[in-house]
Amino acid sequence: MNKIVWMVLACIICQSAEAQLPPVFGKEYEGKARTSEMTKAYLTPQRIVWQSHESEEYIRNTETLLKKGNGQVAVNDQNLFQFVSTEEVQPGILLDYGKEIHGGVKISMGIRESKEPLKLRLRFGESAEEAMSDIGGKQNATNEHSLRDFIVEIPWLGSIEVGETGFRFLRIDVVEANQEAPIKAIEAAFVYRDIPYLGSFNCNDERLNQIWDTGAYTVHLNMQSYLWDGIKRDRLVWVGDMHPEVMTINAVFGNHDIIQKSLDLARDQHPLPQWMNGISSYSMWWVLIHKSLYDYHGDLEYLKEQEDYLIELLDQLSTFIDKDNKEMLNGVRFMDWPTSEIPEAVHAGLQAMMVLTFEAGSEIMGVYNNRNLQEKYLGIAERLRGHRPRGNKTKQAAAMMALADLVDAKKINQKILTKDGVERMSTFYGYYILEAMAKAKDYEGGLRVIRDYWGGMLDLGATTFWEDFDINDTANSARIDELVPETNFDIHGDFGEYCYVGYRHSLCHGWASGPTAWLSTHVLGISLSDGGNVATIKPNLGDLEFAEGTFPTKYGVLKVRHEKNTRGQVVTNIDAPKGLKISH
């Protein structure tokens, strides 16, 4: 298992979901119960960030909260953590569980004089300051998608488990006056999918290693009942957002059925002529994901299940091209939020996506042995290249145009992609900017972007990658794992636009995992094709001395190591599973 997961799972008690109902449940229950694929682990807090009072008059024995327990209350428990409230004082405490997780909290209380349930206010936060915030206001804390600020009642000599959100921090306050609260444990109930990290990446730059791990873990957290894009907010299947996640899953976990499950959900929820999620580009991402899935894993039976819908979707897309070969897609015209108010960028991006989609559709028709449609869709892609969008100055759309061969990748890299460093990036389309830089053979530039942009989040305390990140916001901003001094900005609460203003901003968004896939694909140099039968290995170390790692294939795990010798030449060692063809 990957090292970041071992760190997260330190000091836990694991609990796996049952596979089926017990025999006492009769036939009347058949087909009426869903079983969970998830695992639950109980995490001990790593540190106390803040407490309302230092005096033991109101808060006692705080150190007991940081000790691993057994989760079971007893009548003779001694020296428990204790809140004591008065008419004037309702004490509180802020806990840090060390890493962003998905789940809730289990609170266990011992014996106290009153047997009435104790009311506590819980505030979960992806940052320390979010956990200290109130709903609403200028910094926009919310209870949308998942409750993260609410009051619960804790039973006398018992436990309660509540919450289902993304968080790292938890603030707990006594609600009522004149209460004594002897609490045995406040454990985070971490809900995750217990799967092995088959892929790995290691090089002589520890910053890049940490970024690869963090991207992998970000997607892992979003592999819940379906493949979500966020664990606090937008706990939904957004098909466009899935594409970077799928490429990361390909590189880390291999062929996992959560992808197919989520793609099928999107297809069935949006019968044609609807666009998936109401967004035309997201229907195109659905096609591109299927192309990547087949390239990497070769599941022809599953691909054949999509044939009717896929052909009808491509034919529908073909009706949105005018006489000048220009896309005129309806529905929500969207690439990512930073480009959403720039019509030239949206059009350029959609034109490029149409080219890529029909190319992918043509290749899929080749897999189906449907030569007529293979030629038809390839012809449409070529026809779309007859229109070259003008006026775009954004990195996102420029990257897509380069990938679609609507512009020269090297020229656009020099003119737009590398301009002003990592300013005007986005965590979603950052992956495609990196892909376009690789197409321009600017691997050192790509590594620099990864270090500066995604590394910039790590510098602010991130343990998962964020929905959006503006490098200019980092000036004089405090870390997310500390309370913000009055002299500094709150990187979480003081910034953000569109749907991610202030604390509504998700700090664990799977679409931000692009560097993980990119480092495996372009630095380790591994890509799969021909239904997962062929692995092409073309390393690009850039300024690195060595890089090594593993990559999951349908034949088993592929292992590679690349190292520069004294003459600067890259020497490669490959350990390939039997049956996998290697191409250089």
Query: What is the DSSP code (8-state) at residue 577?
Result: P
**Whole-number Å distance between alpha carbons of 118 and 155:** 7
What is residue 20's predicted lDDT score, i.e. its pLDDT? 65
- Confidence at residue 17, expressed as pLDDT on a 0 to 100 scale: 37
Q: Where are the domains of the chain?
A: 3-192, 270-407
Q: What angle do CA 109, 115, 118 make, to 5 degrees?
A: 55
3-state secondary structure of 496: coil
- Predicted TM-score (pTM) of the model is 0.95
The Cβ-side half-sphere exposure at 522, using a 13 Å CA radius, reads 26
129, 150, 232, 429 from 502: Cα distances, Å? 11, 19, 14, 21
In order of 7, 189, 344, 466, 526, the CA distances from 514 in angstroms are 22, 28, 25, 12, 15
- Bond prior to 91 in cis (omega within 30° of 0): no
Low-confidence ranges of the chain (pLDDT < 50): 1-19
What is the DSSP secondary-structure string of 437-467? HHHTT-HHHHHHHIIIIIHHHHHTT-SS--S
Q: Identity (one letter) of the amino acid at 84?
A: V
Please enumerate in sequence order all residues whose Cβ is within 8 A of that of 95, keeping only pairs 6 or more positions apart, or say none.
45, 47, 48, 49, 65, 169, 170, 171, 172, 186
| CATH 3.40.50.720 holds for 3-192 | no
Q: What is the dihedral of CA 164, 165, 169, 171, to 10 degrees?
A: -60
